[in-house]
Amino acid sequence: MTTTRRKFLASGAAVAGAGALASPAVAQGAPLKWRMQTYAGAALGEHVCKPAIDAFNKIANGEMEIELFYADQLVPTPELFRAMQNGTIDAVQSDDDSMASPTEVTVFGGYFPFALRYSLDVPALFNHHGLDEIWKEEYAKQGIQHISAGSWDPCNFATKEPINSLADLQGKRVFTFPTAGRFLAKFGVVPVTLPWEDIEVALQTGELDGVAWSGITEDYTVGWAEATGHFLTNSISGAWIGHFFANQEQWDEVPEHLKELMKAVFDQSHYYRQHWYWSGEANLRVTGDKMKLTTIPAEEWDQVEEAAKEFWEEVAAESEVKAKVVAKIREYNEAMRKAGPPYRYS
């Protein structure tokens, strides 16, 4: 039988394909190794970071490995930025505020008072309203690659004594984010800075009266629910803004396909946190048995919301970049209010 060119090519491809399937892929050279530290302690990190890193390491198939460290394991959280900038660590998961990054956008990190109502506001602002470009530009000036931003939980008070009015906040020593602390000080709160792993003991010993660091999901997950016992349903902000960052020189050495893989698993991580927190916040308010819920009446809480608008103007006056971010947040929220339910109910 005469062998045609088409049959020859087809049979050759089949043999090559069989060989490729039979032989596992072998990474060329030594794998890239990164060290990443998250702001989160081990209990929380199991949810907010570890699954993404495990997925990346598995899919990277020996070409690259990221070693994950939790809060303060390599460096204290406030030193994360500098450690990443000088290459002591390669990547960070944190908000801008907690890692004390020296950028114009740091003040918006973590919880910017009343800027966000729901977790979906974060990806909407970053992906469709220009915040991603601003963050990338500001971090590029510092030799840092801003990879992506995502939302976490809302920010509520968890306290040892019940909070039923604004007067109850007076003098309360509270562990919170720097920007949130600056704002809450207007209502008599005394912001306290401590290493994350010391918070539970500080609550037990009376060094702290409460935390304004998270929603109720984290309070239960990390053990603060037992150490406080009361949860204020009024939120300071509807979602925390957190990011993945990398040292720019280290990022530049990563092959393009692994950069895309990293971005993909980090986006999956952002998505996981959205539904994990969204479900957990509602479920624990209804079924949780460790914290009693309290609420400051709406007419009194309106004072806090009005004060937030003044706070935004104070921040906007500090620099051109800050004014640009505040303008985008303001425009976005105005559009949400005009759109009405389910975007905004008030």
**Could you check whether the bond before residue 342 is cis, i.e. omega within 30 degrees of 0?**
yes
Hey, do 30-152+240-280 and 155-239+289-339 end up sharing a CATH topology, with the first three levels equal?
yes
Using the CB atoms, write b or e for 161-179: b if 16+ within 10 Å.
Answer: eebeebebbeebebbbbbb
Q: Where are the alpha helices (DSSP H) in the chain?
A: 5-22, 42-48, 50-60, 80-85, 121-128, 131-140, 178-184, 199-205, 216-221, 224-228, 248-252, 256-287, 298-316, 320-339
Instruction: Note the pLDDT of residue 197.
Output: 86
Instruction: Note the pLDDT of residue 2.
Output: 39
Q: What angle do CA 208, 191, 105 make, to 5 degrees?
A: 140
CB 179 within 8 A of CB 107: yes
CB 102 within 8 A of CB 142: yes
Q: Are strands 173-176 and 292-294 parallel, antiparallel or unpaired?
A: unpaired
- Choices 3.20.20.30, 3.40.50.2000, 3.40.190.170, 3.40.640.10: CATH for 155-239+289-339: 3.40.190.170
Contacts of 189 (CB under 8 A, 6+ apart): 169, 172, 174, 176, 181, 212
Domain boundary assignment for the chain? 30-152+240-280, 155-239+289-339
Instruction: Note the pLDDT of residue 113.
Output: 96
CB 155 within 8 A of CB 232: no
CATH superfamily, region 30-152+240-280? Bacterial extracellular solute-binding protein, family 7 (3.40.190.170)
Tokens of 153: 């939980």
Tokens of 207: 């060094």
Say what the pTM is: 0.88
Average pLDDT by consecutive 10-residue portion of the chain (346 residues)?
Answer: 37 42 49 96 94 98 98 95 98 95 96 96 98 98 98 97 98 95 97 92 97 97 97 97 98 98 98 96 97 97 96 97 98 97 91
φ and ψ of 244, to 5 deg: -110, 130
Instruction: Note the pLDDT of residue 195.
Output: 87
Q: What angle do CA 110, 270, 218 make, to 5 degrees?
A: 55
Instruction: Note the pLDDT of residue 28.
Output: 58
Tokens of 79: 């030193």
Residue of 35, 145, 43, 167 whose CA lies nearest to 89: 35
